[in-house]
Structure formats: structure tokens, C-alpha cells
Amino acid sequence: MTAQILCFWRDLRLDDNPALVAAAAQGPVLPVFIIDQLQDLGSAQYWWLAHSLSALRQDLRLLGSELLLLSWAELQALLAQGLPLHLNSPLDRVGQGLVTELQTQFGEQCLQLYAGNTLLAQPLFNQQGKAYQVFTPFWKRCLQVLQPEAPLDMPSQLPMAQSLASQFNKRDFEAHIQALLPKIPWHQEFSHYFNPGERGAQQQLSQFLEQGVERYPDSRNLPAQIGTARISPHLRFGELSIRRIVQRLLALGYGWDFELVWLRELGWREFAYHCYRLFPEVSEQPLQSKFAHFPWQQQPDWLKAWQQGQTGVPIVDAGMRELWRFGWMHNRVRMVVGSYLVKNLRLPWQQGRAWFDDCLLDADPAVNALSWQWVAGCGADAAPYFRIFNPVSQAEKFDPDGQYIGQMVPELHGLPSKWQRQPWLLPSLSAQQLNFRLGKQYPMPLVDLKESREQALAAFKTLTGQG
């Protein structure tokens, strides 16, 4: 039987992996990962990739196989021998570009491509033939036309293409893995939140389905609690199958309907990739063309202060520090820090997207871009530009006792929660009694929240020709 090449991309799992199942059915398999084509990954994600590849290697060994790390040139050399390649269709632009390059070089017949990373294989159009650009009608239509497919079980064994593997079996796998880890040890606390790899993904999903999914509608907005599933990094690296997630959710008795809040979150991911397929420029260009002329400010010092969690606005700084420490930020806080950047500081949303892409473990090319355009008010189904999150009222509502701010911004820990949310209003006598000096222990706010809000609205009016 002809040896089959199985190329993992951002689908580092054995369960419900269509490319793996198809390759195993046609002959001995050479599982490979391309180690020098990582342009779609941010700095934090190299940590995740290193651990995920190690976990995948261990899982493959249990099936009698082995994971090989190859260069792009080495993969091309194998295909030049006429060997078939099995690959789940990449969702990112880098992977899509490499597929096109291989098809151009070796012909389309050299690749067997499979849809295995989204529920919806193609963009969805309405009855007028136009693509959906608003989430609610899109997802309601998906629920009507999609019947969740049954996921594929992994094979019980995976015979190795030994003759091919012998060409590479002297590789130092661990040396490659170590080379992926950040040279600056800023990633040391990432493992406090996450356990990369398919087993870690399954454990995280099981824990959420057993303990968190029922209370998700109420707890998902509270950053001091673990009220969300925290599976998005696992989804980003394909350690979880979206079909398997849906199957397990429905098996618990939940309905395939719009009212299931957590299912809608999975639907948002589908909507993001629906838009990503249709609008290649979504990462850099606003989907609403009028925003191409928006009067953004250029303030490098403000951008740096935002990145470092030194804006002087506690809930914003708490979120940015959580991001740096753990490679993660609570979703509610992501909206708050995003709104502050693009509305109060009036800095370009692309700068926020780029920072998130680099620092988030779950930075997904479609979801991150669409989410930033939503916050900025310039994308598909975007929040209106005049909807500006007030970080103080957001903290009051969703972190009422100051637990989240106190954990992430320890210099404010001793202040009463009222002043912890807005220390610039702390009366001078109280400040003296608490031995707290604004501008010394904690920075002064970069901008006045009310004044900057009014300036943002004025800028928007000039763009739209209002008043």
C-alpha cells in the first residue's frame, strides 16, 4: 500500500480528524508537522504550540506512530516523489497560501483536503443571494440549515510509514520544541490557567459541561470567577473538534436552538469565519468603508501604557496585566479594554488587534479581527460607534467587590472598592490615611473619561456628517 502523508496544521488532535481517518484507511501513515511555517502565530502561542506538539507526539505513540517535525522544503521534497498528502483545510491565510502553492507546484490531485474545523464549510447567503453581515439572522439560519454531523472516532491504531520515517528519525524532537519557547520567561504563569494538548482540552470541556454550562449565562460576565469554558485556545489549535463539542452539548439534553447562550458563542466563531472567508482584508481594513477616514490619533506613549496596564483606569489595567501574565483575558474585560483603546484614547483598532494577536494564547485570526471591528463599530454586526463602555460602571457592575482588580492591580488592593474603581476621586484626607499617592503608587489617568468620550463622539459626527 502507498504511504500516506498526514500533515497536521492547526488541528492538533486525533479525535474527529477527517484527514487522519482518511489517511489511515489508505495505507501506512507518516504524520508530520511543518515547523518553519508559523507566521500566523503570535509570540505567546509558541509556548502553547511547543506543549501541544509534545502532547500530540505522546498520543500518536499510543497508536504505534510518531510525529515528525519537517521543514517546508522537506515536505515539498516528499510530494515531489508523488506521495499523497492529507490535510484538513486550513482556516488561516498562511495555511491557505501554502495549500495554493502546493497545488500550483504539484497539481491539485496531490492534496486531499477535508473540512473539519468549522460547522459551516462555506459562507452562508440569504434568499436574495447576499452574504449575511449580521450575526443574529446568520446564526438563526445556520440552526435551520445545519444538522450537526457525527464526529469521527480516532482509529485504534495508526501504522507508521517506516521507510519514510527512517529518513528523519534521527531528528532531535525536544531540541525543536525547546527552540519554540520564548527566550524571555514571560510565559511562566501560562500553565496556571491552561494545559495544552488534546487531553487537556477534553478535560477542560468536560469540566465546563459538568459544572459550568448551566450557570454560564449568569457567570460569564464576572472576571473574578471562572465562569467561561476557557476552551478557546484549544479550539485555536484544533485540539478540540467543534463537531465533538456540539455532540457532547446536545447529548446533555440541550437544544439545537438560538436560546442556548453558550451555543451562540460557538455560533459567533462560525460567523467570524463566515466573514473571514468573504472579506480577506478583515484583519487590517474596516468592513464599513467609511471608517477608513476616521480621525484616529497617533499616541505611541498611550499605546505603550495601555499595553503595559498603566493607563490609570483600574479595570483596563487589570485586564491588560492579566493578558501579559496568563496569555488570557476575560471576555467581558476584552470588550472594556478594547472600547477604552478605540473610543477613549481613539487609537486605531488595528493596534489593539496586533497586540492581542501577539499576546493571547487563543488569538484566532478571524475571531480576533471580527471582535476588534465589533468594538470599534466598523465591522460586521458591529456595536454602534457611539456605544462606549464606561470602565468605571463596568467594574462596578461586574467586579463589585473589587476582587478582580485587587488581584491584578495589587497597588490598589488596600483601597475601598468604590475608590479602587476610580482612585482619582479618592478624597485627599482618605488618601493620606491610606498612605496612597496617585501618580506615585498608581498612575494618573491618561485621559478624562467623560471628556474623551465626548471627543470620540464628535470625531464620529464629522465622519458621518451628523450635526
pLDDT digits (tens, 9 = 90+) for 122-159: 888 988 888 898 999 999 999 999 988 899 999 999 99
pLDDT in tens, 65-94: 999 999 999 999 999 999 999 999 999 999
For the ranges 215-229, 370-384, 427-441, the lowest mean pLDDT is seen at 370-384
How far CA 11 is from CA of 92, 94, 271, 405, in Å, comes to 12, 14, 19, 35
- What's the whole-number average pLDDT of the chain? 93
pLDDT in the model for residue 241:
96
Does residue 405 surpass a pLDDT of 80?
Answer: yes
Confidence of residue 22 (pLDDT cuts 50, 70, 90): very high
Mean pLDDT across the stretch 41-61?
97
pLDDT in tens, 417-441: 899 999 999 999 888 999 999 999 9
Confidence of residue 116 (pLDDT cuts 50, 70, 90): confident
How far CA 109 is from CA of 82, 84, 85, 101, in Å, comes to 10, 8, 9, 13
Confidence of residue 183 (pLDDT cuts 50, 70, 90): confident
pLDDT in the model for residue 379:
87
Does residue 461 surpass a pLDDT of 90?
Answer: no
pLDDT in tens, 287-346: 988 898 899 999 999 999 999 999 999 999 999 999 999 999 999 999 999 999 999 999
Residue type for 307, please?
Q
Confidence of residue 382 (pLDDT cuts 50, 70, 90): low
pLDDT in the model for residue 163:
85
For the ranges 166-175, 220-229, 248-257, 412-421, the lowest mean pLDDT is seen at 166-175
Does residue 61 surpass a pLDDT of 50?
Answer: yes
Does residue 29 surpass a pLDDT of 50?
Answer: yes
Confidence of residue 8 (pLDDT cuts 50, 70, 90): very high
Mean pLDDT across the stretch 211-225?
93
Q: Is pTM beyond 0.75 here?
A: yes
Mean pLDDT across the stretch 401-420?
93
Does residue 416 surpass a pLDDT of 60?
Answer: yes
pLDDT in the model for residue 466:
43
pLDDT in the model for residue 467:
36
- Of the candidates 74, 92, 71, 94, which has an alpha carbon nearest to the alpha carbon of residue 83? 74
